[in-house]
Amino acid sequence: MLSQLSPAVRQYVLVTGNYWAFTLTDGALRMLVVLYFHQLGYSALEVALLFVFYEFFGVVTNLFGGWLGARWGLNRTMNIGLGLQITALALLLVPADWLTVVWVMAAQALSGIAKDLNKMSAKSTIKLLVPDDQQGQLYQWVALLTGSKNTLKGVGFFLGGLLLTLIGFQGAVLALAAMLTVVWVGSLVFLRRDSGKASFKPKFRDLLSKSRAINSLSAARLLLFGARDVWFVVALPVFLAAQLGWDHWQVGSFLALWVIGYGGVQAIAPRFTKAQQVSRYGALLTLAPLGLAAALWYGLPVSSSIIVGLGLFGVLFAINSSLHSYLIVAHARADGVSLDVGFYYMANAAGRLLGTLLSGWVYQQAGLEACLLISALMLALSTLVITALPAAPQPTDFTETKASESAQ
């Protein structure tokens, strides 16, 4: 069936399939680690520390991974990412007594390297598959890749909680490793060679972006994802388990449904948004954590407040993330695209690292409301930064694109 598709579409399907499979295991592993180690009696801050190397090495990987992608080709960096994730999963198959904080942090470091190699490779490849004069198609493909990825991450959250309940931690990790190995072998065989190699040999000084647009987008992305993770990554699941008494499968299912819905909104965002609306949606997003913090502060029903507040935050965050993801690909240079995309996702990883650390520490010191207030502050700053962005190539309207396709 793949042989009947055009070369560009065939590569898009392969890249997206790799990204989907990786994301499924990554989401499941994150939920497994959070719930399993909270069950063992680890505090919120200690659980957050398990992900410090995951996020820290994501920062390093995106910076140097973009350079490697430009020198080696994006197919190689994507396949290296898949292989490293399998290795990270294998490290967690040791006897339970070996699963110390240091050991799990090391495994998460490998997983962080793997995740960001995979994501940088996938996002960079899309730029190469779409002509510069088809910005509408580019926006749609980026949104579909990003949105479907997050939907699969949500499925991974659910899968992680379910597998932990049904077959335990080690059984769950083994099942994920086996699935990803099959995908990795297929990727090694079918993914096109040398995609994304720059025509020049990038030097280390090329790692840091000299573009005002890339730097503005990177700063905004750091604040955007820091604002999400400061309350979502550790504080919220621990709050649901410890304060509301939810079981593992309930926590995993709830967060999974949120991420699935969030991914769905990302995928369809090109139907009703335009790039120049990014500041407007950023301002609206800032109000969401403020509203939820106010609801908790005034003693409104907790479960209902979280469901409504998280839903509103998810819709607005998905729109912002989709717009940001398109803008970086649109502004990135075509020759050596992974250098710009890697620098951008380095800032993304730095934001997640900051948010993860704050999520555990602030929640332990001051509770969920404080995490939400810090989230709102970071979102306000992100919106201010994005207003300084130079004009981008504008994608054609979605409906115009579909009409054009129908006429061809």
Q: Which pLDDT tens digit goes with each residue over 139-165?
A: 777 777 777 777 888 888 888 888 888
Q: With 90 as the cut, is the pLDDT of residue 99 above it?
A: no
Would you tell me the crossing angle of helices 101-129 and 135-190 to the nearest 10 degrees? 120
- Which helix (H) or strand (E) segment holds residue 132: the answer is none
Torsion angle (degrees, nearest 10) of CA 384, 392, 314, 354: -50
Give CA–CA dist 356/86, Å, rounded. 24
Residue 36 pLDDT class (50, 70, 90 cuts): confident
Give CA–CA dist 150/170, Å, rounded. 25
Q: Is 233 helix (H, G, I), strand (E, B) or coil?
A: coil
- Which helix (H) or strand (E) segment holds residue 342: the answer is helix 337-366
Amino acid in the structure at residue 147: G
373 closest CA partner among 278, 298, 286, 306: 286
φ, ψ of residue 199 to 5 degrees: the values are: -75, -15
Report the chain's mean pLDDT, rounded to a whole number.
Answer: 81
Per-residue confidence (pLDDT) for residue 194, from 0 to 100: 57
Give CA–CA dist 29/111, Å, rounded. 9
Q: What angle do CA 389, 395, 399 make, to 5 degrees?
A: 145
220 closest CA partner among 264, 303, 285, 269: 285
325 closest CA partner among 140, 157, 62, 112: 140
Work out the average pLDDT over 115-136: 72
Per-residue confidence (pLDDT) for residue 357, from 0 to 100: 84
DSSP character at residue 256: H
Per-residue confidence (pLDDT) for residue 85, from 0 to 100: 93
Residue 274 near residue 324 (C-beta atoms within 8 A): no
115 closest CA partner among 345, 314, 347: 345
Instruction: Tell me which architecture the domain covering 2-194+207-391 has in CATH.
Output: Up-down Bundle (1.20)
Give CA–CA dist 149/129, Å, rounded. 18
242 closest CA partner among 42, 64, 77: 42
φ, ψ of residue 239 to 5 degrees: the values are: -60, -45
Report the Cα–Cα distance between both ends of the chain, in Å, rounded: 23
Most confident of 63-67, 128-132, 190-194, 307-311: 307-311
Q: With 90 as the cut, is the pLDDT of residue 283 above it?
A: yes
Regarding predicted confidence, which is higher, 257 or 5? 257
Q: What is the pTM of this model?
A: 0.73
Other C-beta atoms lying within 10 Å of the C-beta of residue 277? 14
122-to-19, 45, 170, 335, 360 alpha-carbon distances in Å? 7, 32, 29, 16, 30
Q: Which of 26-30, 371-375, 378-382 has the lowest mean pLDDT?
A: 26-30
Work out the average pLDDT over 310-323: 92
Give CA–CA dist 370/368, Å, rounded. 5
Residue 315 near residue 265 (C-beta atoms within 8 A): yes
- Which helix (H) or strand (E) segment holds residue 162: the answer is helix 135-190
Q: With 60 as the cut, is the pLDDT of residue 380 above it?
A: yes
